[in-house]
């Protein structure tokens, strides 16, 4: 007994010593198995809840939201048999949910039934039930379905859908990764930092009394304000979508800029995409920034400016058009090298003669001075615009022939944004403005403007006198009977511009693609010529045009629509006369003539120089188009509908589409319009009695196609350069 007692005492003392030693060790080192006790205690008694920050919002120049973080909801179905709020009838739940989330009833029922069979606590229903809007969430809640609940989570949303998509770019829906455009390049400024609230609690999570909270304030991302004008951008997007649907080009690009500042007011590409559905993207390239190609004859603007600035250009001097020998090679004009005989250089610019600009480059300026001015116009350097992935140019200057071809837009490749920058010098009195699209960034936490972009002059390649002369010649391209820019004429506005038709390298072999429509068609336009407020550049690559259509057809539809809309939106009236920076209106504001006598109203308006058309034989006016408050220029049409019982069809040959729509509106005609331009044929003959609601087919044709036999191929009036090696 004593021996056993002693043994037990010794064992007990050993164990007690070990325990005391262990406790002392822990007390001294404050660690257990390598883990610090203070940290374990803090984790057990400390509650920490995240406070989410918000990714910065992207706005247009007036504060309209282009990209923002919004709450979204993911639908969750509770299946736990121990829960009072659970899905009890999968079939009924699926039948009510399916129409709202646009899913198949059988699919939803299968997911719910499988989850129940597997004993799942809850399930998500997949496609159509994630990233739900608040409106959809409320619609589902109104169904009062047991077991259906929601998980709230933030997501990135683009409210204007397909709108400057390549400029803005996109993030993944949960904003875990920024992709493309400004979303990517400005991610460090737009990105947020989450905060938290931390406090000590008891084991039930209840905050301990008299304990201060630790609060880390979340940091929201900076808000970004662009120079984009949503009104102009939306007009551009709409017309580009229409042209894309009709002509199915390989690609399109367009830029609208303010020549006084370099601010980009609109920028778009096709193919485009809706950043809310980024899985469907087929084109990741912002062609206006990241693509370079041979510009075609828009390049002649800058060669012309260089020749005028150097004093070697004489517009009335004659030269022999048609073809021009350069060593062992020959440059030909676009009409199969036939030319137009001996013509002055001014007419050569209007007709876009390649020969004229080969002579200017080699005989008047010389290659060295030509390249000197190309450098001054910024064609060898990137513009530095605040958009990612700007491409560089490729200027051909190895051989004598390179100077000639570069002068008229072939052989060298440049980007659209380089052309816009160079064009600001011509439109802004010789001062070349750096293009930019970010106006400012603002810290939403403090309201502080973090960065602000100011207009920057990046060079003065030409004088104001030269710029004015170039603009005058560019206007003649649009207004002269010989000009290649007639399709870009906008009634009443001073449009100055230059056409371009660029050849495309053959991807399957040497040389260029050939055939009708196998070119990049473009136009660089400025308005109003006397005091430019806008620059619009449009390029369309290989549109599917009919054999009787010119490449200018899709380009002119985009340009004229956007330019006219923008000028009117900016309150620049038709035919406005510039005095400094002010515009004096030369039109007439139309009054309301309804209920007035036909003869007196007609006489009054004809005295103003307007073209008045009276529908019917009545003596009293019952309707008019345009309506009260419209500004009309001398020569524009105003249509009156009288209190007549019969309405003879007028002869509308040579009427513009705008005037045709006035007639259709006034008489409620169902008009089927074919083509673009001016009326060539009408299905209801003149003087035929018509009734309200009649159907009429109207065929339109561009001015330079009016006398062309459409059964035969039409030579491009634009300039497609051919360089032939002589044996």
Catalytic residue set = 297
Q: What φ, ψ does residue 622 adopt, rounded to 5°?
A: -110, -15
Among positive and negative, which fits the CA dihedral 336, 342, 345, 349?
negative
Closest CA to 412 of 423, 401, 424: 401
CB neighbours (10 Å) of residue 57? 20
In this structure, what token pair is assigned to residue 267? 């920028």
CB neighbours (10 Å) of residue 40? 12
Contacts of 513 (CB under 8 A, 6+ apart): 503, 504, 505, 506, 519, 542
DSSP letter, residue 116 = H
In this structure, what token pair is assigned to residue 652? 């509308």
Quick check: 355 and 404 in contact, CB under 8 A?
no
- Cα end-to-end distance, the chain, whole Å: 128
CA distance 147 to 79: 7
In this structure, what token pair is assigned to residue 302? 């800058």
At 342, is the secondary structure helix, strand, or coil?
Answer: strand
Beta bridge partners of 199: 47
CA distance 265 to 164: 11
Q: 318's torsion region: left (phi>0), alpha (psi -120 to 50) or beta?
A: beta
Beta bridge partners of 521: 501, 540
Our separate counts of H helices and E strands in the chain read 20, 38
In this structure, what token pair is assigned to residue 392? 């560089």
Q: Which residue spans within 472-547 are E strands per DSSP?
A: 496-502, 520-527, 534-541
Q: What φ, ψ does residue 13 adopt, rounded to 5°?
A: -65, -35
């Amino acid at each position: 007994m004593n021996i056993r007692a002693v043994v037990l005492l010794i064992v007990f003392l050993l164990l007690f010593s070990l325990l005391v030693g262990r406790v002392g060790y822990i007390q001294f080192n404050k660690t257990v198995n390598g883990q610090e006790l203070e940290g374990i205690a803090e984790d057990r008694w400390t509650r920490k809840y995240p406070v989410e920050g918000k990714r910065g919002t992207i706005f247009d120049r007036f504060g309209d939201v282009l990209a923002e973080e919004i709450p979204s909801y993911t639908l969750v179905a509770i299946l736990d048999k121990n829960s009072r709020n659970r899905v009890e009838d999968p079939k009924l739940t699926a039948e009510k949910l399916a129409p709202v989330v646009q899913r198949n009833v059988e699919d939803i029922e299968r997911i719910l039934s499988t989850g129940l069979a597997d004993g799942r606590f809850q399930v998500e229903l997949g496609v159509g039930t994630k990233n739900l809007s608040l409106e959809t969430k409320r619609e589902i809640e109104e169904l009062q379905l047991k077991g259906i609940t929601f998980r709230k989570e933030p997501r990135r949303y683009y409210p204007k859908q397909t709108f400057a998509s390549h400029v803005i770019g996109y993030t993944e829906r949960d904003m875990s990764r920024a992709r493309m455009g400004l979303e990517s390049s400005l991610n460090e400024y737009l990105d947020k930092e989450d905060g938290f609230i931390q406090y000590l609690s008891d084991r039930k999570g209840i905050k301990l009394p008299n304990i201060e909270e630790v609060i880390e304030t979340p940091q929201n991302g900076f808000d970004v304000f662009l120079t984009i004008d949503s009104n102009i951008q939306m007009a551009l997007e709409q017309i580009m979508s229409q042209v894309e649907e009709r002509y199915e080009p390989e690609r399109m690009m367009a830029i609208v800029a303010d020549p006084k500042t370099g601010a980009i007011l609109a920028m778009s590409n096709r193919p485009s995409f809706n950043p809310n559905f980024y899985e469907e993207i087929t084109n990741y390239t912002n062609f206006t920034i990241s693509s370079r190609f041979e510009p075609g004859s828009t390049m002649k603007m800058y060669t012309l400016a260089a020749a005028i600035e150097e004093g070697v250009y004489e517009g009335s001097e004659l030269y022999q058009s048609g073809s021009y020998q350069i060593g062992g090679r020959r440059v030909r004009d676009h009409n199969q090298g036939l030319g137009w005989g001996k013509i002055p250089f001014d007419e050569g610019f209007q007709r876009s003669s390649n020969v004229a600009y080969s002579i200017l480059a080699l005989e008047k300026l010389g290659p060295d001075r030509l390249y000197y001015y190309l450098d001054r116009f910024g064609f060898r350097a990137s513009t530095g615009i605040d958009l990612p992935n700007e491409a560089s140019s490729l200027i051909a200057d190895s051989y004598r022939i390179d100077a000639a071809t570069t002068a008229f837009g072939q052989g060298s490749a440049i980007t659209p944004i380089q052309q816009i920058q160079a064009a600001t010098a011509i439109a802004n009195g010789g001062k070349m403005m750096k293009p930019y699209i970010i106006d400012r960034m603002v810290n939403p936490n403090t309201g502080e403007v973090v960065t602000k972009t100011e207009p920057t002059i990046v060079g003065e390649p030409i004088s104001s006198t030269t710029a004015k002369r170039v603009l005058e010649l560019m206007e003649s391209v649009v207004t002269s009977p010989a000009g290649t820019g007639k399709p870009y004429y906008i009634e009443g506005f001073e449009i100055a511009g230059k056409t371009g038709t660029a050849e495309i390298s053959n991807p399957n072999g040497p040389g260029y693609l050939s055939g009708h429509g196998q070119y990049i068609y473009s136009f660089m336009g400025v308005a109003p010529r006397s005091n430019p407020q806008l620059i619009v550049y449009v390029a369309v690559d290989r549109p599917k045009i009919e054999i009787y259509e010119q490449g200018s057809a899709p380009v002119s539809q985009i340009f004229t629509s956007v330019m006219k809309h923008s000028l009117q939106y900016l309150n620049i009236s038709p035919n406005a006369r510039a005095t400094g920076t002010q515009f004096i209106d030369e039109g007439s504001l139309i009054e309301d003539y309804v209920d007035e006598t036909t003869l007196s109203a007609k006489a009054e308006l004809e005295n103003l120089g307007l073209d008045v058309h009276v529908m019917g034989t009545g003596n009293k006016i019952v309707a008019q188009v345009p309506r009260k408050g419209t500004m009309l220029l001398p020569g524009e049409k105003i249509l009156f509908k009288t209190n007549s019982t019969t309405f003879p069809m007028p002869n509308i040959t040579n009427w513009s589409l705008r005037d045709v729509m006035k007639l259709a509106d006034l008489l409620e005609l169902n008009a089927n319009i074919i083509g673009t331009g001016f009326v060539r044929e009408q299905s209801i003959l003149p003087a035929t009695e018509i009734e309200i609601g009649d159907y009429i087919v109207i065929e339109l044709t561009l001015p330079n196609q009016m006398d062309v036999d459409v059964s035969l191929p039409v030579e491009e009036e634009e300039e497609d350069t051919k360089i032939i090696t002589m044996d």
